[in-house]
Structure 1
Amino acid sequence: MLTLKDLANKIATKLQEHLSEGTELYGKRNNHVYPCKIIKVLAEEAGRTQYEVAWLDKDKKVTENAVLNGEDLVRKKLPFTRDVLKSFIRESTYRSVPWVLHDKLASKYGISTDTPEELRSNFSFQDGHMVRNRKRSRKEEASKEELRKCKSKKMGNGKSKPWIPGGIAEDKLKEEPIIYPIDDLLVQPASDDPVFTERPSPSRNFQIPMDCVGDLLMIWDFCSSFSRLLHLWPFSLEDFEHALCHKDSNLIVIAESHSAILRLLIKDDGNYTTAIHKKKRKPKITLVTWTEYLCDFLDMIDDADLSNYITTVRRGHYGLLDIHAKLGIFRELVAQALTTDLMREKLDECIEQRQELAATRRGEALEEGRKRREDKELWKAESHGKEIKGRSLKSVGSSSKLFGNGNHSSQNGDVADKLKKNKNALSPQGKHAVTNRKKADTIAKRNGKQHKMDAKAALENKEYLEREMEKRFIRTNSLGKDRYYNRYWFFKRDGRIFIESSDSEQWGYYSTKEELDTFVASLNRKGERERALKKQLEKYYNKIW
């Protein structure tokens, strides 16, 4: 079974190796590399696959055809990074190692969800979800074996005593303690559990249909997160939802959102730029002409469902479109924007900066750990030194050589009082020990103040690095899942916690602090998913409210 990193690497390698018809890449010809497109995949010969390709010019027009071997083709980079691929894997599955797809995705693409033969002994389905089978302890196996033997004796010899469960040794009947956390669905109520509050019901007051909420959040989050790159003024989720439901065709939020994404496609100098040049459009998009550019985009993608709305949009009646149609157009615009070179460069830049900040944070954490170990060793050494000096003072005080008159101290006398009366009675070794002890106490106080200042500075620097990493936005990930695989989302530009059902068909949200506090108190830390979710909610609690 593969880890997330190994699985993402394996999928990325497979995608780069798989070349299909229509794939645009580069081919080697006359010791140079030229753009081309695969027309046909020929049969393999002697373990080598050949491809019929069409050479392309600067305008991506076919100049001539040729047959090339697989090693003569230079593959382009994947249109997404491995981090994006990892996030896609997490969203498409409800458990890891083994990775199990959501039932909706599996049925949509005809993928079998049956447990593989080699995993059936360790995993099984329970309540529609795959869970790990709990291994029987040796004590349980011994109890079962003894029960079997007793039954066989009873059946073979009528004079044998009947088997009594209490006759088995008590330690064999005791189960091994469960080590938490475990799968949430296997957690059973126990006497040591805290008092869990009743989970509050989420609000579902959306203006749009329930099956459109996911697309609404995705599109709004994209426009808000990349507003600088799009040169788009940020707007609230409520304003965006209200604008989509409005019948007016020239609302500022709708017009500016479409125009910003279309401008990005024009700057990318790709297929959309070629399409508007053919129609001799001006590169400037205004609040009056944005629908014309939108119709050009719908013509370019040639989607059967969305093409039905071109006439309505061209007549200036965009506001009369259905909510599903509006969000479908937005979804295609966002998908095209994510494949542009400008967006990929921005994402790659953010990823590199996040990696540098993460490396800096790890280095500071290691340095802080090293300092703590050094301080601990120094404290141990100082404590040991004080103990030795204290013993030497006692031995010096009890010795008769401390006093110049040669008289022995009485058994009940106080050495400290005699030392005060006779200041010159201490030997040079005793005076040196007292002086060193005072110096050590002064240095310890100074080190303590410096340690507090260093700890405060380290905490401030750690918070600064976390803020800088959050600014380098890549994508919004869910906070986690509850025991029933419902996902929880938080968007930093909206003060609500959104709940997505395991099948992505139902949505809700918590909008008050009391609801969130009650929900956090209802989570059971003995479960793997709810423990992780509670940790994330506590981490972002101050940012949510």
Structure 2
Amino acid sequence: MPTCRRKRVMLTEPSSELLADLKVNPDKQVFYLAQTGEIFADYESYSSRMSFYKAKQFQCDVTGKGGLDFFQALTSEQQEARTLHSRFPEQLKGPVLRAVQWRAYRSMRAISQAHTRTEVMGRIDQLVEAVHERFKDRYFEGERVFVELDGEKFWARIIKANPPGSTVVSLKRPRASSGAAAPAPPKPKAVHAINGDLKQPIAEVNAKDDPLAYMYTVQIIDEPGSDGPRKLMPNETVSIKAGSMSRDRLAFSKSILRRFVRDCVDRDSAIASPWTVKKSIAERYGVEINMPEATRKGVDEIKRGEMEKRRKVATPPKKEEKPDRPAKKQKKMTAEERAQLLKEEEEELAALEALERERELAATKTKKKKVVKFPAEDLDVTLTAKEKKENKMAVRPALSRDLPFYSIGKGVFERFLMSWNFLHIFSQPLNLSTFTLDDFESALRHNTSEVTCSLIAEVHVALMGVLRNLHAQKHQPALVSLMQEDDAETDLVPVQDLLTRMETYGQTWEKQLPKAADGRSGWEDSLVGCLKDNASVQSFPRLRDIVTYLLYDTAAIEASRKTGWTPLAGNSAAPPSAHPIAEPADRYPTLPPSDKIAVIAYLCDLAITARPIHHFMDNCETKLTELRKEKVEINKEKKRLVDSMAEVVGKVGLKDDPMQVDGEAESAGSDTEESTLQLPVVGEVEGAIASTGSLRQRTMRMQAHKNALAKQKELAASKSKGAQAALEEHIKLTDELARQDRRMDAIELDFRRYIGVRLRPMGKDRFYNRVWWFDGLGGGNLVNAAGQTLIGAGRLFIQGAGEYDTEVLVAREAEEHDVVKRREDEETPEFMLQSDEWGTYETPEQLDEFFAWLQEKGNRELALKKQLFIWWDHIVAGVKKRQADMSAVALAAAKPVESTNGRRSTRGRNSSANELARESYMQWTNKLAKNPSTNGA
């Protein structure tokens, strides 16, 4: 049974009221939980229990895997139990279970003592160790084992086990003899007679019945894996000792044995309770169910001894009585008095156990923690008392969960984000200007045909433009796959009618796409043709529903269905108006956003294999190699300039500050943390530094600029010979260094753009949540030519841990039992993300709080913090730019409509065409648009 917080889950028994109702009103309706067989009188108790089972707080009792709900843990236990019982040797199950069945046996401590007092083992590890020692060299008839002969291993089956002193009997049938009758065979000795008696020490058992002295007759059932001088044919029999035999470790080992015993036995929580084989398993393998009286007395004796021992520890010693005082004659107790005394002893024992648990818990809390060297594993890092006193953030700031299309269905937001990112990165080969994520969302919500949305039209034409360069399948997979579909009651149009209508659309879409000069008119028809030539029901499950929506007036069909007519095949009397046709151009705007996203995402998946996309990716790799080489050369040149500046200062006799030079050299030699800051030349004010660099680089360059100005002032004030020439040379070198810095800034921006084709998260936090920042990748720039901030998504995205990382967290929870508690404390249950869940930070204040929450002592968060630090100014600038744009849009929308309540616009339902045309996404134009040639690019 699964466990919750280390306690086994107990099923809810029917209440006494419910049992009473069973007799009075057997037809009363109740709530039944089929997975567990529990019965509840009302929905509230049923719902409460189901919520308890659905919480991710249970642990599989067999594997130890945690972070599961009750049903997942129960399924895991059942699967592991089936696998375990199929692997564990069947011949070994009975002897092992008989060995562990509620027998009092000596513990390791008792074995080492001279006397033979028996004790019950409380830890399953001790029990498994004892059983493994007894059975590791003892084999039984029917087992499959490995036998080693002349250095080769063979797979064999044990036919007969011969105890020490017995004669190995030949398996061949003896010949008939004409002489006297053969003597009667000797009485066979018992095989492993006392192997399971754990009351006797292992040395004593082996002395009486040595397992290594047994001879086993085995039958070869497999040939060796490698050729050798000796060959044994299958079914050949040999006699061999236990020392040359071994079991498969997947069938018998300490870990397998532990799992088998743990699955088959149970133990009461009371002190000194023995291990007991579960009744159903005991009956199956012939294990005794009723405890013998001698064993029961032994267990009771041990229990009384433990109670007396704990009582002595917890109770202070009494004052010694005077020796001259005569002993009082004890009164003989009655049965009632004896029962009362036993009850008091049980209560006292329970109190002592509770006290001992409290002491153990206190000792665990006060135990000295292990020394951790930083940076270390993030989950090993906790806030110190000093950090708590300094109000170091202990809880991650709240995430915004208001994501586009997040509530429509599972995976819709991810497809939406993936599609925009693909269009954003590969805008150049697609001949498509970039647009913001917000504009893309608004365009997908555009639901009127009165005003054409240019952004959606250009996106589809751009994708179809690269898809026609593929070797399109001329067998039209959409038609073929739809032919294999059967009509269902939910289908609005018969498949044959749909196929006939599809054939009339997009016959020449790959030869001539709609032109930009014509406003891409007719692109919806080309889309139907593109889907017809590239999609299938198997690769695009929504194909039939989407095409039906584009080609037919589904609302009218559904209305006609209500009159009783069913437009399926076989209804020849169907009126023509039963499935009225429609044009894709009129139907696409009202297509549900989830289907629009599904179409674009599918086209993006196809486009990734297109030739223009592959050429662009190869070109990006080449550019990255060139940029890396150029960065190395620039760093060398900057180092030379810094050294030359120090040499110029030294020639005129001024003392140069090595700290200043080294700091600038380090800044100049950086290959990974450059930014777009400019180093001001002499005569410029400090505020002339551009606002688009990283915080670290701005600080370092401002300090370097101060150092340069200080040296130039010293040179100007110096009266030494050559000071004026040195000043001019120093200014010249400073100008050259600033030029190299500007070039390095441009390289860093280009490097981020080109590396976007291999998109990776910026890093992971302590709980393996992935942090994404999508701006400045591929076709998107962070700043324009005038130095103004440009945005793509304009926010920081947080995604839950991946599948592999989740397994790491589960393993950590099973071992340390600290992950779930820490996540509840440091993330709060409301903002804990699963692997398919997302959140965002959309304000500068949220970003600052998130940055402060990250720990520099952890490996993952240190790397993440470095990446955020490099691009921090750009991230914050993008967030502020998005906020400003949204405020401007809201202000403009509020002017003509005074009754606005701040909710999202319905895009065209209540606004005129002129008002709709003023929307940001409607003002977007494709500056990279090209009219595709007839033969394709």
CA distance in 2 between partners of 1:542 and 1:273 (Å): 51
Change (3 A) 1:177 1:207: closer
CA distance in 1 between partners of 2:604 and 2:741 (Å): 38
Q: Secondary structure at the match of 2:772?
A: strand
* Aligned mate of 1:362, from 632, 649, 655: 632
1:412-458 superposed Cα distances (whole Å, 9 cap, x missing partner): xxxxxxxxxxxxxxxxxxxxxxxxx9336556545543443333222
* Aligned mate of 1:186, from 380, 385, 391: 380
Match of 1:482 in 2: 765
Q: Secondary structure at the match of 1:474?
A: helix
CA distance in 2 between partners of 1:372 and 1:178 (Å): 40
Match of 1:419 in 2: none
* Aligned mate of 1:270, from 443, 468, 471: 471
CA distance in 2 between partners of 1:186 and 1:296 (Å): 57
1:501 paired to 2:800: yes
CA distance in 2 between partners of 1:273 and 1:499 (Å): 43
* Aligned mate of 1:259, from 428, 453, 461: 461
1:308 paired to 2:544: yes
Q: Deviation at 1:378?
A: 8.1
Q: Deviation at 1:242?
A: 2.9
Q: Deviation at 1:368?
A: 2.7
Match of 2:843 in 1: 512
CA distance in 2 between partners of 1:341 and 1:235 (Å): 24
Instruction: Single out whichever of 272-281 and 499-508 deviates more from structure 2.
Output: 272-281
* Aligned mate of 2:621, from 336, 348, 351: 351
Q: Deviation at 1:176?
A: 8.4
Change (3 A) 1:233 1:301: same
Contact 1:496 1:510 survives alignment (8 Å): yes
1:178-227 superposed Cα distances (whole Å, 9 cap, x missing partner): 43211211112224546423432121223413532221111112223333
Q: Secondary structure at the match of 1:488?
A: strand
Match of 2:513 in 1: 285
1:3-26 superposed Cα distances (whole Å, 9 cap, x missing partner): xxxxxxxxxxxxxxxxxxxxxxxx
* Aligned mate of 1:232, from 395, 418, 432: 432
What percentage of residue pairs aligned between the two structures are identical? 27
CA distance in 1 between partners of 2:624 and 2:474 (Å): 32
Q: Secondary structure at the match of 2:513?
A: coil
Contact 2:438 2:793 survives alignment (8 Å): no
Match of 1:455 in 2: 737
Task: Report the structure number with the largest CA radius of gyration.
Answer: 2
The one-letter code sitting in structure 2 at the alignment partner of 1:181 is: P
Change (3 A) 1:264 1:485: same
CA distance in 2 between partners of 1:203 and 1:385 (Å): 55
Please list every run of 5 or more consecutive structure 2 residues that lacks an aligned counterpart in the other structure: 1-67, 73-79, 81-248, 250-366, 477-502, 515-519, 553-583, 657-718, 776-791, 802-833, 878-937
CA distance in 1 between partners of 2:745 and 2:636 (Å): 16
Match of 2:392 in 1: 196
CA distance in 2 between partners of 1:501 and 1:284 (Å): 44
More helix by share: 1
CA distance in 1 between partners of 2:840 and 2:377 (Å): 25
TM-score for both structures, normalised by structure 2 = 0.32
Contact 1:265 1:272 survives alignment (8 Å): no
TM-score for both structures, normalised by structure 1 = 0.52
1:215 paired to 2:412: no
CA distance in 1 between partners of 2:530 and 2:439 (Å): 25
The one-letter code sitting in structure 1 at the alignment partner of 2:840 is: Y
1:229-276 superposed Cα distances (whole Å, 9 cap, x missing partner): 32334333223223334444764333321122012212x152168969
The one-letter code sitting in structure 2 at the alignment partner of 1:298 is: L
The one-letter code sitting in structure 1 at the alignment partner of 2:530 is: F
Q: Deviation at 1:464?
A: 2.0
Contact 1:184 1:528 survives alignment (8 Å): yes
CA distance in 2 between partners of 1:499 and 1:313 (Å): 36
1:530 paired to 2:855: no
Contact 1:216 1:327 survives alignment (8 Å): yes
Change (3 A) 1:446 1:346: same
Change (3 A) 1:347 1:536: same
Q: Secondary structure at the match of 2:840?
A: strand
The one-letter code sitting in structure 2 at the alignment partner of 1:484 is: F
CA distance in 1 between partners of 2:385 and 2:730 (Å): 44
Change (3 A) 1:369 1:179: farther
The one-letter code sitting in structure 1 at the alignment partner of 2:859 is: E
Change (3 A) 1:295 1:303: same
Q: Secondary structure at the match of 1:271?
A: coil
CA distance in 2 between partners of 1:180 and 1:366 (Å): 32
The one-letter code sitting in structure 2 at the alignment partner of 1:182 is: A
CA RMSD across the alignment: 3.9
1:482-537 superposed Cα distances (whole Å, 9 cap, x missing partner): 11111222222121111212244221211111111121112111111211222222
